[in-house]
Amino acid sequence: MRAARLIKMVLLLQSRPAMTAAELARELEVSERTVTRDAQALSEAGVPVYAERGRAGGYRLIGGYRTRLTGLARGEAEALFLSGVPGALREMGLEDAASAARLKVSAALLPSLRDASRTAAQRFHLDAPNWFREPETPELLPAVADAVWDDRRVAARYRRGTDVVVRELEPYGLVLKAGVWYLCARVAGDGPFRVYRIDRFTTVEAGEERFVRDEGFDLPAFWAERAEQFARSILRAEVVVRLSERGVRGLPHAVDALSAREALEAAGAPDADGWVTVALPVESEEVAHAQLRALGPEVEVVGPAALRERFARDARRLAGLYGG
C-alpha cells in the first residue's frame, strides 16, 4: 500500500508545479504528517522532492525530474478503455479523435496488455438512452462541444416555452442524462450557472473570445445539486397512501425515487394489518393517479378525497370487467 502511495505522490508532483501538504493529504487520503514522512522517504530513495516552508510553501520536484513508473497494470488499462462512451463521443464529433487515442494507447502498452481494449469491450457496454425511445442527436451538439473544449464564449438563441431568448454564455460542461444532452453554462459577465437542453438551442455561434474558467466549478457536484433541486421543484402536491409490504418495496419503482425514499423514512410503524401510511410528495394528483396505479391492490389512497374517488372509480370499472 505504501509503495503505491509513494508512486502516486511522485506522479501528482510530476503533473503540477507544486502542491501543499494539505492538497497531497487530500489526494492520497492520509494525514499531513504521513505526507511529510513519505516525502522524506522519497528523498532518501533519490527522488528529488523539495519542501518549501511557510504559508505559500509546499512540495515540488526539482531539476525537471520525470519518473518512468508510468506503466499500466491490466486492470488500469481495461479501465482506461471503459472510460469513454462511444455513442456520446460520436454525437459530439469526437469519434475519430477517440479512436486515434485508443490506438496510441494500445501501441504504448506492453504486448501482454494490448488485448485490454477487446476484453473490456466484450464485458461492459453503456447504453445511455431510455428504453422505447429512439435517441436523436441535437444538430448543434458538435458546435457546443467544440466551444466547451476550447473555453469559448457563445452567442446562443434558446427556446423557452413559446419564447426565444438570446444569451451570451460561457459553456462549462456537457451532461448526457437518459439520452438527453444538457449544457451547464454561466451567463457571460459573472452571471449564474444554469442548465440548458441542447435540443432547445436554435442557433449557437462561438466567438474568438475565450473565458477564464472558475477553478472551483465541479461539474458532477453541480449537476447532482441541480438534478435534486429539479426533482424537488416539480413535487408541488402531496397525497397520503397506505402501502402493503409489497407496496413499500414497489413504491420507489412507481414514483420519483427521492420522493419515495423521504416519504418512507418519515413513515411510522406498520399498523395491525402490516400496512404503512406515508405522506408522499407528488407532481400533481393526475401524475400520482397514473403512477400509483402501477402498484394495484398494494396501495390505498387515503387522501385527498378527489384522488381516492378516482381510484374507487377505477376499482368499480375493474370489478365490472373481471367480476364474473
Higher pLDDT, 28 or 81: 28
pLDDT band (50, 70, 90) for residue 249:
very high
pLDDT of residue 57: 72
Report helix, strand and coil shares of the chain as percent, to nearest 5: 45, 25, 30
pLDDT of residue 10: 84
What are the angstrom distances between the C-alpha of 29 and each of 41, 61, 84, 96, 216? Answer: 18, 21, 27, 37, 20
For 281-319, the pLDDT digits (tens) are: 888 889 999 999 999 999 999 989 999 999 999 999 999
Most confident of 81-90, 137-146, 229-238, 288-297: 288-297
- Cβ(146)–Cβ(93) under 8 Å? yes
pLDDT of residue 69: 60
For 183-196, the pLDDT digits (tens) are: 999 988 777 899 99
Across residues 110-120, what is the average pLDDT? Answer: 67
pLDDT of residue 195: 92
β strands within the chain, DSSP E:
49-52, 58-61, 152-160, 163-177, 180-187, 193-197, 201-210, 237-243, 276-282, 299-303
pTM: 0.59
pLDDT band (50, 70, 90) for residue 204:
very high
- Cβ(197)–Cβ(180) under 8 Å? yes
Most confident of 51-60, 69-78, 230-239: 230-239
Q: Kindly tell me if the per-residue pLDDT of 62 is higher than 60.
A: yes
Q: Among 12-16, 49-53, 78-82, where is mean pLDDT lowest?
A: 78-82
> Residues of 86-110 as b/e, b for ≥16 C-beta within 10 angstroms?
ebbbebbebeeebeeeeeebbeebe
Q: Kindly tell me if the per-residue pLDDT of 223 is higher than 80.
A: yes
Cis amide bond preceding 48, omega within 30: no
pLDDT of residue 107: 64
